[in-house]
Structure 1
Amino acid sequence: MQIFSDRETRGPAARFLILLVGTVLVFGAVTAWVAVTYSSAGTVYWPAYSDMMASMPSPLAWLRWVLGDISEVAFYKHELASLGLLLGGALGYWASRYAQTWQGFSISYGTGLWPWLVSSSLLGLLLSNALWGWTLTADTWQPTFAAFVSLPAAMVLLFGGGWKVTLNGAILGALLVTPSCLLIVNYVCLPLGLPVVIGNVLGMALGSVIAFGLCRALPALVTPRHEQKPPTAPAPPVKTPDYGVIWIARRVLADFSEAPFYGNEWASLGMLAGVLLAFILNPLSPAYGSGVLLQMVAAQALTSLVGVIVWRGEWRTRGWYPTYVPLVSVVPAAVLTYGASPMVMIASAVLGALIAPPLACAIARRVPGYMHPYIGNVLSMAISTLLIVPVIGALVAA
């Protein structure tokens, strides 16, 4: 993979800084807009999720929807969680370059590609909403977030940085991934009463398979591997983790930001801090107004903890293992479908941790080399959710 030299980084780094500052300013403007709009008699009221949907298609509601898409993969759907994820990711990237003692798990797997990755993901998200936002109404939810956590980032990680890959990844994500998710969610999942996460991740897999096939047939879409420049500076020595209690706690935290390809504690802390602040401001604002955010986060942490402990040997052998898979699929789907009872939380967390990661690993090993193996992870999300959520439903009904 392409990792920037110091000379190559100055231009992209400056553009990335401008993008990041612009993103923060947009978030700040939205926050002030929301506060002013929903203030009366000196009292600030942060709007609930239902308020946002009811005010569609107002500009404020649309802007909050698009920004909320950034944290939707974790089922949080809130602009403050999204802001925390981006700022935490930026801190993680800065630490990976200038304060490695504090970097935690190196963001985006130590590739140095996070600026390109987040740029492609954000562009894919904006294009998706521009092209497919018309499908959203005050009464319907649509998976416009899908491109942010799928093909654009995967293409950057597979083919390297640069504007060619960044732009083409964003375009293909908006043209292939988002409509695939829309079709499967609306014409398969909803009619059959299946959790929509199944349609989301199947759409990501389908769109990505088509896109990677196009890149193989039309190599001009990406940067050939032989044209990618190797690192100009030696990589710092990597200490072998002790895989003890501290490592387990850090790994559980990092799993919260694994789905957008960050896998970093700072990014996870930022997102969790943002969504908890949103919950404090209004419990019916994040997590689709379900009011079960705290229980869902606890169950997500539990499934990661069980998975990291059970599959710690795989982490030690392979260096990475998809213990995050049930955190963004099985567990939130079960909690939002059947409620936040201890039985639902524990059963979904344990079954998800035992089934989803090894299934993802088995499928990823069979993905062709010209495709990113994340396809195995999203297929595992679909299969695991399809298998486990009905079991949870039977336990609830018993």
Structure 2
Amino acid sequence: MTRTTKNLPNPVISTSSTAVMRWLTGLAMVAITATLAIVLTGVSSALPQLLPNYESWLSEAYSSIPQFLRWLGGETAEAQFFKTELGGLGMLLGGWVAHRAWKRGRRWAGFPISYGTGLWPWIVGSALLGLLLSDLVWGWTSVVTGTAQPTFVPFVSVPPAIVLVYGAGWSVAVTGAVLGAALTTPIALLAVNFVCHPLGLPAVTGSVTGMWGGALIAFLLARRLPWMQPPGGDFSPDTPETTGQQSAPAGTSTAPSQHGPGWVVRRVLADFTEAPFHGNEIAAIGLIAGTVLSYVLNRLTPVYGSGLLPAVLTAQVLTATLGVLLYHRRWVEAGSYPTFVPVVSVAPATVLTYGPTVQAIVVGAVLGAIAGPPLAAQLSKRLPPDFHPFIGNVLSMTICTLTIIPQLSILPGFTAAT
């Protein structure tokens, strides 16, 4: 009897061991990313420049149809601060592969793309149409100012969110696209040009303000449109499929013991594509691979030609890893948690504001990971049932960037980059 008891696995020890392995895996991910970033930074000056730099790209964006389409492709990866057409194309191709694999029940499909709703084609279609309309209607602002404007915002806000709430169909997809271009972009333009630039605030603050401000109006209007009816006549915010948060892949347990090292790696990667409502690691691999390739072809093309991709990517991996590890219990209990929030806001914005220093990378990533996800979760809970919870996520980004990044300037070693 005693021998049998000793041979049984101790559930407490097993759980503790799994937790240790998760943290070690996270540490390894950050270390590998930082090492590769250092190597990439060191060799970048010797690499051939086969792509036009960002300034040339911007100046020609509206000069011809091919350049315009290339600019649109770059905007599909702008929410992650990458702004590269190769990254955007890689994400969309990876999303298509993940969608096909999910439909066929492949286990390697990863986290069910677009939260297992099967709406990925409609989400992407509406988002791309909204992006096209945004650039056609508001692209003149980039020409007049000579600087990039936040015309990308519909791609990651109202159009896909409308589809997730109201379901598939041309009327829904087109309505979402029109509302996104008509509402989110002008609000973002006003916030960026008349608030952020004059006050020296990160431009992302204005961009995400356009997203949540436009979304609040869009969902209020959608209530009054006779052709906009939620599937089944109701919208419940309590499930991953309808909240726009991540659900576990088919056949995968949500028990803590199943959330081991592999889950950490996959979850961190998937967080890179939560902003465009993909939430899938295959799409993320396409996004990151395409962006790194763009940097290799010309380091002054991605991330607005700043040359900061290695530092930005390191900060993003660090903040995503910390968020996933710190709020792992939330993932287990709810099946989802907005740990992606600092990946597309505080962490990269801190690097762009203060430069590629160790303190900017670490402090921005840590503070963003601690503050962003729980604030987003609380804000999303307080929305009406027919308002997509992404509104709370982007509102959290506004609050965190406004309260964290400017305050860092009082700390030693934090000097705004010129």
Shorter-chain TM-score above 0.5: yes
Q: Deviations over 1:67-120 (max 9, x none)?
A: 111000000111100110100000110111114211111000111110110000
**Does residue 77 of the first structure (1) align with residue 98 of the second (2)?**
no
SS of structure 2 residue aligned to 1:74? coil
Aligned to 2:253: 239
SS of structure 2 residue aligned to 1:54? helix
Residue pairs, 1:26-175, within 5 angstroms: 45-59=50-64, 60-137=66-143, 139-175=146-182
Distance 1:206 1:239 in 2: 37
Identity of aligned residues (%): 50
Q: Which 4+ residue blocks in structure 1 deviate beyond 4 angstroms?
A: 235-238
Q: Is the 8 A contact 2:49 2:297 kept in 1?
A: no
TM-score (norm 2): 0.80
Q: Is the 8 A contact 1:164 1:223 kept in 2?
A: no
Distance 2:389 2:223 in 1: 15
The Cα shift of 1:365 comes to 0.5
Distance 2:49 2:396 in 1: 43
Structure 1, unpaired ranges of 5+: 1-42, 229-234
Aligned to 1:368: 384
**Does residue 312 of the first structure (1) align with residue 328 of the second (2)?**
yes
Distance 2:106 2:403 in 1: 41
Match of 1:184 among 191, 199, 207: 191
Distance 2:267 2:308 in 1: 24
Residue pairs, 1:310-389, within 5 angstroms: 310-389=326-405
Distance 1:286 1:104 in 2: 27
Q: Is the 8 A contact 1:165 1:223 kept in 2?
A: no
SS of structure 2 residue aligned to 1:71? coil
Q: Is the 8 A contact 1:250 1:265 kept in 2?
A: yes
Match of 1:194 among 190, 198, 201: 201
Q: Which has the larger radius of gyration?
A: 2
Structure 2, unpaired ranges of 5+: 1-47, 235-248
SS of structure 2 residue aligned to 1:112? coil
Distance 2:81 2:230 in 1: 36
Distance 1:163 1:85 in 2: 23
Q: Deviations over 1:257-281 (max 9, x none)?
A: 0100000000000000000000110
Distance 1:119 1:52 in 2: 25
* CA spacing shift, 1:353–1:44, aligned 2, 3 Å: closer
TM-score (norm 1): 0.84
RMSD (Å) for aligned C-alpha atoms: 1.7
Q: Deviations over 1:216-248 (max 9, x none)?
A: 122x241343379xxxxxx96553351111111
* CA spacing shift, 1:90–1:394, aligned 2, 3 Å: same
State the number of aligned residues. 349
